[in-house]
Amino acid sequence: MPPPSATPATSAPLQVRLLKNRQRRLLAGHDWVFSNEIDPASLRENPPSGGELIHLCDNQNRFLASAWYNPGTLIAARVIDRRSIEHFSRQMLAERLDYARRLRDRIFPTPHYRWIYGDSDQLPGLVIDRFGEVLSVQITTAGMEAMRSSLLELLLETDSVRGIVVHNDLDFRRLEGLPEGPTETIGDVPGSLTAIEDGLTFTFPAKGGQKTGWFYDQRDNRQRLVRYAAGCSVADLYSYAGAWGIHAAKQGAANVCCVDSSRSAIEMVQANAAANQVEVDAVCADSLETLKGWGADKRVFDIVIIDPPALIKRRKDVEAGLQSYFQLNRLAARVVAPGGILVSCSCSHHLPEEELITIINHAAFKDGGRHAQILETGSQSADHPVHPAMPETRYLKCIFARLG
């Protein structure tokens, strides 16, 4: 990455010391420092404010990294540069935005992708999804909030960008002590946004959708699906706007049923199916209850896709979440036809891939006596790059399992 163009600051950043032996993870490349790793004595004289740039040091006052600080959160410091910088400038921000965009533009044929993926793109607390000329933005750290004005100016200066949707109603903002508010629009933002994947178009509301409005992270996994879909009956559970099911239908699936509990999501499925000239059955119902009903009726599908929201959001939820994933996979496995395929997904960081595979095996073999074969495993697409020292940045698992 090109070096940032730092400019002199009016005062040197505060030095914040870590407790003894708490620098090991940081030295291994991880970019977070937790509040219980910081020596409170180094904060007493002149405590930094939220979003302020600090210099992290070990307990011998040896420099480690430049970071954004937030006094009221579990993650107290987030590394913004491994060099000693006086402040994070607009020029540095511009260079990192450009560096990230050049990767995405090299990978994807059209400007429809996740442009910025937080820590992995060296911009902690920033997520940007691009939908052609409109951007969907989430700011979730105090340091990035301090750069908000510069960020939005730079984004509007980007070629072909004419509008921005900024999501302020996020749980992460509350955890960071940032003000919450309604979604705001800047520039020319239409009522609906469009994502393009593999020549298919998907439209959804600019406001009120899930997260940034679309799930680009499953793009590669949806491409994996198409090789299996021709001539098959397909069930797409937790379908949202129908991306999985419509991909399958376009590849010649015999029939597709999309299920989601949201009426607005089902309306999106119907509109997107029509726009892509395919037919799907769109059902507004709870996915778990639907699976129970199908099982009771002995209804089966050649391919069953389960792509639920995160069922384990925090470490303390792991035990209950594992039971939820098992229950879901057990019910889904029961409606997979002999020789059919279960596509089981999890976006829970706290559920490792090997644990999800174990759950699938238990759901198929121990519950139903069925032989399972793992055909493929997938993660998030390349516009969600994984930080090699931060397992937190790899969250998505997608398992393709054939059930005998």
- Residues 178 and 138 both lie in one domain: yes
Residue 47 pLDDT grade (very low, low, confident, very high; cuts 50, 70, 90) = confident
- Residues 66 and 188 both lie in one domain: no
| Overall number of domains in the chain | 3
CA 51 to chain centre: 23
Domain annotation covers residue 203: no
The answer to whether 215 and 240 have CB atoms below 8 angstroms apart is yes
Domain annotation covers residue 208: no
Nearest Cα residue to 249 out of 263, 269, 264: 269
pLDDT at 12 over 90: no
Per-residue b or e along 163-176, where b marks 16 or more CB atoms closer than 10 Å to that residue's CB: bbbbbeebeebeeb
Nearest Cα residue to 105 out of 394, 379, 382: 382
- Residues 342 and 370 both lie in one domain: yes
pLDDT at 137 over 60: yes
Express each pLDDT in 173-202 by its tens digit. 888 889 888 899 999 999 999 999 999 999
End-to-end CA distance of the chain: 49
Among candidate residues 136, 159, 193, the one where a domain is terminated: 193
- Residues 25 and 94 both lie in one domain: no
What pLDDT score was predicted for residue 10?
A: 53
Q: What percent of the chain has pLDDT over 70?
A: 97
Instruction: Look at the block and give the residue holding tokens 């726009």.
Output: 275
Express each pLDDT in 84-124 by its tens digit. 999 999 999 999 999 999 999 999 999 999 999 999 999 99
**CATH code where residue 58 lies:** 2.30.130.10
- Residues 42 and 105 both lie in one domain: no
Q: Which domain holds residue 182?
A: 90-193
Q: Confirm whether 258 is a catalytic residue.
A: no
CA dist list (Å): 84 to 13, 87, 238: 9, 9, 46
Domain annotation covers residue 198: no
What φ, ψ does residue 307 adopt, rounded to 5°? -130, 70
